[in-house]
A and B are shown apart, each in its own frame.
Chain A
Amino acid sequence: MSRPQALDDGTMQSVSPVTAPVLAVKDFSLTFKAGAETNLVESVSFSVSPGKTLCIVGESGCGKSVTSLALMGLLPSPPARIVSGTAEFNGRNLFAMPERARADLRGNEMAMIFQEPMTSLNPAFTVGQQIAEGIMRHRDVSKGEARAEALKMLEWVRIPAPEKRLDAYPHQLSGGMRQRVMIAMALANRPKLLIADEPTTALDVTIQAQILALVRQIQAETGTAMILITHDLGVVAEVADDVAVMYAGRIVESGPVEAIFGDPQHPYTIGLFGSVPSLGRRQGRLATIKGAVPPLDLMPKGCRFAPRCPLADSRCHDEVPPTVPFGDGHSAACWYAPIEQTMEARQ
């Protein structure tokens, strides 16, 4: 049984090493309960380079949103507590920065779009005021200049009749429009990193496609690095350069999008793709992954997917699997990886 060696530090390289990453997260663990045995997010590592999109995929509750909020510094602490890890943003560790310095970064060099466009805008202020406010916070501009800039942003995110919308209140706009405003607000200071937490989940399908196209286009124009958090594999296929698959607080597989889609190595990833309906004739039933994510206090010592994994043996339950690299940045955290060879060797 031959198996490649795990990386020494257990990290997963998910980007091509050509450009320095904008953000490199290493061994990040987070808990909501002091002294809890298992962490909500456990030893997560990933990085994202300028102009690239990293998709973090996983079902709800797997820790993907929490991770992104922690990176932005938006998690209330307490109860959230970062147990370990670093997040190098342009060479500075976010987790070691004072709150004031992080506030200076937020909405400036790193920005975020949220899942709920209906409730994410303040109902008491006009769209223009809310965009201009972020501009004035980080740039030394007058009110008039900020307003002009806000108008430019609305044009940029292709809102029709932007002059009129500038003085509109959020309740006067549709969900798709509001999400465009959120994007305009996030991009107003040309961030180097944009985190989008399920930006299209709450929108109609047609609007989803428009918003995704817009985000792609803006990214191409600005070279912003993006972390897109989603559970929608269709979105992943459309926009991702790299993918990190999260399960129960851990990254189980990561790599370039082609590798993840073409040659998934982790049983969870394989199961995840099996659960997506595709066009054309279907052979048999749609695959499902048996069981449910175990609650945190019942999390197995070893691989967190073990209770639901068709391949799991006693070692899977007891020992944390190593991260196995396959080259080209593709790696999976599984005792059976690479899966084909292992299965062949067994037979």
Chain B
Amino acid sequence: MLKIIARRVFVAIPTLVLVTLIVFGLQKILPGDPLLTMAGEERDPQVLAFLREKYRLDDPFHVQYLAWLGNVLTGDFGNSLRTGVPVSTLIAQKLPVTLQLAVMAIIMAMLIGIPAGIIAAVRKGTVTDYAANAVALSGMSIPNFWLGIILIMIVSVQWRLLPASGYVPLTEDPLQSLRTMLMPSFVLGTALAAYLMRHTRSAMLGVLTSDYIRTARAKGLLPKTVILKHALRNALMPIVTLSTLLFGELLAGAVLTEQVFTIPGFGKLIVDAVFTRDYAVVQGVVLCTAVGFIFMNLIADVLYILINPRLRHPQ
């Protein structure tokens, strides 16, 4: 088992290298010149030349890439071209925020989506099934920012139950932190719950008609055991796949939701960086997100092996 995991980790390395190449390369292809932003209105050629020299922008591609990669490996993502703040500092500030939001949102999505999918599958073709599907469809189609604003209006403004915006670090005041994040993670979670519900439903439908479910019932097992143990266990693969992918996506930040609830997360950081052509910041954040994605894929692989014994003993 450890051997299989080690192999998956090893396979992830080339992907990682490719990601760094793309992250670095795309920056170079993008139109626009960050120095124009930095140098301001005057655009003194001498200043421009000095800046070019300082940021080694005239070096050949591979030299720039290797220099950058070497720095990245030591944790140095460079400084923001705009503010001069080290990118690693920026990431260290925003990552916990985004991580907390992502974890809470995915938990929310799973708590809503998976049970709803199971119930819809078991009650296939009934009113419950149609209702669950209708709710899921609205969950997918309602824009996050709209739901966010409506929730703020009702829950925060009218009922005064939860704070409307802001961010409190988990380490400072855990309860207040959870309270502030509750609404944004709910907004993000419901949209994802819809996808999870649909996939859970179809996976369960496929499993529920299989022979071993009939065997489980022939043993006299009660519906609860048949569904939650024998069926769900075998329907888990697509659910795990989707959950990890959705979580990876959440790590990239949720621009609109962060904007609505004024959360200082990755989403805002990256959008600001792109608009100001802050190369170093974009590179750092994108790289972080990509690594997060690859890591989540690794987690999914390990979970597959835990769920499916057939993967544990490759013939």
Contacts and interface: CB of A to CB of B under 8 A. Distances in A.
Interface of A: 72, 74, 100, 103-108, 111-112, 114, 116, 119-126, 133-134, 137-138, 169, 171-172, 182, 185-186
Contacts of A185: 215, 219
Contact of B219 (A107, A126, A171): A107
Contacts of B310: 123, 169, 171
Contacts of B214: 74, 114, 120
B314 to A, nearest CB: 11
Secondary structure call for the B interface: helix
Contacts of A125: 230, 233
Contact of B216 (A119, A122, A171): A122
Contacts of A171: 309-310, 313
Given A103-B220, A106-B220, A138-B220, 6 more contacts: A72-B218, A107-B220, A119-B210, A123-B310, A134-B221, A169-B313
User: What are the 7 closest A-B residue pairs judged by CB atoms, nearest first?
Assistant: A107-B219, A106-B220, A107-B220, A134-B219, A119-B211, A122-B212, A169-B309
A141 to B, nearest CB: 15
Contacts of B234: 122-124
6 contacts: A74-B217, A107-B220, A114-B218, A123-B308, A124-B308, A169-B309
Interface of B: 210-212, 214-222, 225, 230, 233-234, 307-310, 313
Contacts, number: 77
A129 to B, nearest CB: 10
A169 B307 CA distance: 13
B221 A116 contact: no
A121 B307 CA distance: 16
Contacts of B210: 119
A2 to B, nearest CB: 48
Contacts of B219: 106-107, 133-134, 137, 185
A116 B211 contact: yes
B234 to A, nearest CB: 6
Contact of B313 (A74, A108, A138, A172): A172
Nearest to B313: A172
A171 B222 CA distance: 25
A119 B215 CA distance: 10
Contacts of B217: 74, 103, 106
A116 B218 CA distance: 14
A120 B215 CA distance: 6
A103 to B, nearest CB: 5
Contacts of A124: 230, 233-234, 307-309
B249 to A, nearest CB: 28
Secondary structure call for the A interface: mixed
B297 to A, nearest CB: 22
B311 to A, nearest CB: 10
B220 A108 contact: yes
A120 B220 contact: no
A185 B216 CA distance: 10
A107 B212 contact: no
A18 to B, nearest CB: 30
Contacts of B230: 122, 124-125
Nearest to A121: B212
Given A124-B309, A169-B310, A119 B212 contact: yes
A122 B215 contact: yes
A133 B216 CA distance: 9
B42 to A, nearest CB: 69
Contacts of B308: 123-124
A271 B307 CA distance: 51
A112 B220 CA distance: 11
Contact of B218 (A104, A112, A172): A112
Nearest to B208: A76
Given A122-B212, A122-B230, A107 B218 contact: yes
Contacts of A114: 211, 214-215, 218
A36 B108 CA distance: 48
Nearest to B234: A124
Nearest to A172: B313
B215 A182 contact: yes
A105 B219 CA distance: 9
Contact of B221 (A72, A119, A137, A186): A137
A120 B308 CA distance: 17
Nearest to A104: B220
Contacts of B222: 100, 103
A111 B230 CA distance: 19
Contacts of B225: 137
Contacts of B216: 122
Contacts of A120: 211-212, 214-215
Contacts of A111: 218
A137 B220 contact: yes
